[in-house]
Amino acid sequence: MLILTSLNGIPLVQPGDDLGEFIFKAVKQTGITLQEGDILVLAQKIVSKSEGRFVNLATVRPSNTAHRLARETCKDPRLVELIFRESKEILRTRPGTIIVKHRLGFVCANAGIDHSNVSGVGSTGEEWVLLLPLDPDVSAQQLRSHLEGVSGVSLGVMIIDSHGRAWRLGTVGVAIGLAGVPGLVDMRGWSDLFGYTLQITQVGAADELAAAASLMMGQAAEGTPVIHVRGFPYPLRDGALGELLRPGEQDLFR
């Protein structure tokens, strides 16, 4: 049985905070004892905050190229400059949206830069934005090591974000950082109910779990950025974001 539980007591995270300690205390406060194979799923935002990935737009000096694209997309040129810095390639634009290939390798809107639920130290103004973690796989592994050390059991850790999709409306949770959790589960060679051997089936297991955890977290003022997972239906193993990214030569949408 797959069981997802929102953890109680995660405080508002500030740069330099020890997320591992916050999570371990919240696990105990929620009445959970960590077991072998449990997974902790974290919202990207608290990881970015703990790593100090805030930027005050007042400090950003946009280039001429940023000014030009800002006019085309009706965006703040300072934000556009940050999007350039966080991206490998600009793929599509329209007023209000810039679709990019992020420096981490996935395709997303506005380089994952966030205004919502963000304020800088000593400020509640809208000048502050939050960038994605520098390396979410590394962040997840560091948290996994900490939590395994204090709990004495083998765990998985995932960092997730909300992304849109090219062919459907609405955002869904997706994995952007993995440690001890498979990104893909390759079912090629397995048999179905009628004995047919599967030829192409690969399950995006990490993204499926991310979507479920995102439902528990919410998108507004819920304040539940960490989800405990028990009963994940596949064996845990070392995983990484890269295994979920479609190679360019297989991408039919670009």
Q: How do residues 192-236 score in pLDDT, each as one tens digit?
A: 666 666 566 678 899 999 999 999 997 655 578 999 999 999 999
Q: Which residue has the tokens 């960038």?
A: 131
For residue 131 the two structure tokens come to 């960038």
Region 137-153: mean pLDDT is: 97
What CATH architecture is 54-130? Alpha-Beta Complex (3.90)
pLDDT tens digits along 7-63? 988 999 999 999 999 999 999 999 999 999 999 999 999 999 999 999 999 999 999
Distance CA 213, CA 17 (A): 23
Going by pLDDT thresholds of 50, 70 and 90, the confidence category of residue 253 is confident
Region 84-97: mean pLDDT is: 95
Provide the mean pLDDT of the chain: 90
Of 133, 138, 157, 139, the C-alpha closest to 147 is 157
Asked whether the predicted pLDDT for residue 172 surpasses 80, the reply is yes
Q: Which residue has the tokens 């998108």?
A: 219
Q: Which residue has the higher pLDDT, 166 or 173?
A: 173
Q: Which residue has the tokens 């506005």?
A: 110
Q: Confirm if 176 and 161 have CB atoms less than 8 A apart.
A: yes
Domain map of the chain by residue range? 3-53+133-244, 54-130
- Tell me, what's the pLDDT at 57? 95
Is 128 in a helix, a strand, or coil? strand
Apex 46 CA angle, 173 and 14, nearest 5: 165
Q: CATH class for domain 3-53+133-244? A: alpha beta
pTM above 0.85, yes or no: yes
Distance CA 131, CA 116 (A): 12
Region 236-248: mean pLDDT is: 92
